Amino acid sequence: MSGVLKALQDAVGTDYVSDKDFMTYAYARGIDSALPPNPPDYVVKPGTTEEVAEIVRLANKYKTAVIPRGGGCCLMGGSKPIEKGGILLDTARMHKIINIDENTLTVTFETGITWAELNAKLNELGYYTGNLGPGSGISAVVGGGLSHHSVGGGGGAKYGSCTEHVVALEVVLPNGDIVNTGSNASIYTKEPFCRFGFGPDLTGLFLGDNGLLGIKTKATLEIFPRPKYHAAKTFTIEEPSAENSAKIWLAWRKRGDLGIYDSQWWTQLMVIGTQILTDVPMIKPWIGLDKAVFFYTIEAETEEQLEANVKIVDQICKEHGCTEMGPELKDGNWAKWHYEEQGHWLNFHGIWGGMGPGSIPLTTEHHVPIHRFPYMAHKLDEWEAAHKAELDANGGMQSGISTALLCGHTTVEVDSGLLAWDKPGYREKNMELWKSQIEMVIREGGMPYMLGEIFSKGLIDTEAFEGTYYQFLKNVKQILDPNRVLSPGKFYL
Ligand SMILES: Cc1cc2nc3c(=O)[nH]c(=O)nc-3n(C[C@H](O)[C@H](O)[C@H](O)COP(=O)(O)OP(=O)(O)OC[C@H]3O[C@@H](n4cnc5c(N)ncnc54)[C@H](O)[C@@H]3O)c2cc1C
């Protein structure tokens, strides 16, 4: 038995360490099926922060990599080894809710909990996390979402990215030290209640870090009472539908806070594609529909407030080519399903499952300011036209935008990318086309957030970082992780 294996077993117990092929190969990839699989040497499932810290100390001692993993749903190769071997640290056992505090309106938990499990518990008390994490929130965990600035599982228009409401973190640093951030950095505060104070926002250093700077073991998030009233409407939208959607979103934002919880634009390609490819029951009323779709959900505390806001929102929709589909699920009111029946998670899970055998998503999703969304949609069309012959020759790959979501006050999350076929003869070209679209999106000013291997390297390959920013990032990494043990390879670091 190797010295590392024995030391890991001593740290977490023999039941929670494996170097067996069937186990290491199971962790050789996330859902990023286009990237080559890369098995770790060991899979470890710690149960406590102290065990995580001990694993990291051992990685330093034995000069081997540690790669943290939540639900493994990163589409960019972030939750598996990028370089050869190493220790894959699966946080799945660390999923306890530690405290729901109705005085500070916060929840503190271990980061291996899924968004669904956390929100199910909060829901019993009439609360939610506001932003419900990513669309993968039934299997993706909060630690993964906080490492990605995830948005998309619901609530993005009202609450922004899921990292915006983090109050405090407990982090294991790459040298094995454990730090608490936010108000937990003080020995005198009584509970986590405030992110800011005590100098620079060191909580932010670990948010969206894609597992580069530390392993988040516990987190405290603000919680919000679920508003009593809501409205959910779905429309077809006339061409140019990307432009019309951006105009609607901007016009809403210029009217101040209208309580919009979510709003999405579905391209015609997506509306037709899902009819053919998926079994999501909510698609049934759309059969035969060949238009782009637009929807919103709104929350309010009183009926009067809801009515007043819906009136403003609907008027703006009407002025920009929207036609309402009807109030019920059977009328195709996707928004109702999205809000009332957890369609916000079921939607993406369902679509993924139904994309067709052998097909793989090569996403290039990113943020743009609302007003630049039509420009980016146009650039993606141009990219598709320029690569049409290659896409056709490589099994008939599809390119474009599936959906776009209003995110926070100022941005749109554009779900762009390629649908490819996972056949040996196509793999090299798949990667080439994926990288090409990633680089185009970055050069046109798109802001990616799920970076993993391929997007983080794309940022360096395109020399995207302004001035001394990359050197700054390198310096931070070097200070925190001098032995280069944590997630080596991301950003070429
Ligand atoms: C069906 C489906 C729908 C999706 N929908 C969305 C969406 O709507 N919006 C969206 O943003 N993304 C979406 N994604 C992508 C992805 O699921 C999310 O970004 C999600 O938040 C990843 O969480 P995870 O727990 O699976 O993370 P993982 O893939 O396990 O990890 C993600 C990254 O974080 C690091 N990491 C994980 N845990 C920790 C930790 N505790 N400390 C430090 N680093 C850590 C990993 O090393 C990796 O780099 C979707 C994916 C699928 C398959």
Rounded CA-CA distance 29/18 in Å is 16
- Nearest CA residue ID for atom 9, ligand 1: 134
| Dihedral Cα 241, 281, 341, 274, nearest 10 deg | -30
Say how many CA atoms lie within 13 Å of 18 toward its Cβ. Answer: 14
pLDDT in the model for residue 459: 98
Pull the structure tokens for residue 154: 């619901």
Region 320-335 average pLDDT? 95
What are the sequence ranges of the domains in the chain?
Answer: 3-92, 97-225, 229-353, 359-461
Question: What gap in Å lies between CA 338 and CA 243, rounded to an integer?
Answer: 23
Residue 88, classed as helix, strand or coil, is strand
Q: pLDDT tens across 430-442, in order? A: 999 999 999 999 9
Closest-CA residue, ligand 1 atom 5, reads 135
Q: In this predicted structure, what is the pLDDT of residue 324? A: 97
The whole-number average pLDDT for the span 191-215 is 97
Q: Best mutation site among 69, 115, 118, 359 for ligand 1, i.e. most ligand atoms within 8 A of its Cβ?
A: 69
Question: In the CATH hierarchy, which fold is given to the domain comprising 359-461?
Answer: GMP Synthetase; Chain A, domain 3 (3.30.300)
Average confidence (pLDDT) over 370-375: 98
Fold of 3-92: 3.30.43
Mean pLDDT, the chain, whole residue set: 95
What is the pLDDT, as a whole number, of residue 349?
80
pLDDT (tens digit, 9 = 90+) per residue, 330-339? 999 999 999 9
pLDDT tens digit sequence for 74-122: 999 999 999 999 999 999 999 999 999 999 999 999 999 999 999 999 9
Percent with pLDDT over 90 in the chain: 89
Cα separation, 235 vs 258, in Å, equals: 18
130: helix, coil or strand? Answer: coil
Query: Taking the model in full, what pTM does it have?
Result: 0.97
CA 184 to chain centre: 26
Question: What is the pLDDT confidence band of residue 355, given thresholds at 50, 70 and 90?
Answer: low
**pLDDT tens across 26-81, in order?**
999 988 778 989 999 999 999 999 999 999 999 999 999 999 999 999 999 999 99
Pocket of ligand 1 (CB under 6 A): 30-31, 67-75, 78-79, 91, 111, 134-136, 140-141, 143-145, 147-148, 150-153, 210-211, 215-216, 348-349, 352, 450, 452, 487
Atom of ligand 1 nearest to the CA of 217: 41
Cα distances (Å, whole numbers) of residue 421 to 41, 392, 398:
29, 11, 10
Q: What's the rounded mean pLDDT across residues 151-155?
A: 95
Strand partners, 172: 178, 215
Q: Which atom of ligand 1 lies nearest, measured to the CA of 141?
A: 25
Class of domain 97-225: alpha beta
* Same fold across 97-225 and 359-461: no
Closest protein CA for atom 17 of ligand 1: 73
Do 148 and 70 form a contact (C-beta atoms < 8 A)? no
- Please report the pLDDT score of residue 31 as a whole number: 84
Copy the structure tokens of residue 150: 């995830």
| Pocket-testing residue among 35, 146, 150, ligand 1, by greatest number of atoms within 8 A of Cβ | 150
- Ligand 1 pocket: which of 111, 115, 132, 136 to mutate (most atoms <8 Å of CB)? 136
The mean pLDDT of 367-371, rounded to a whole number, is 98
pLDDT of residue 114: 98
Q: How many helices (H) and strands (E) does the chain have?
A: 17, 19
Asked whether residue 479 carries a pLDDT value surpassing 90, the answer given is yes
CATH number of 229-353: 3.30.70.3450
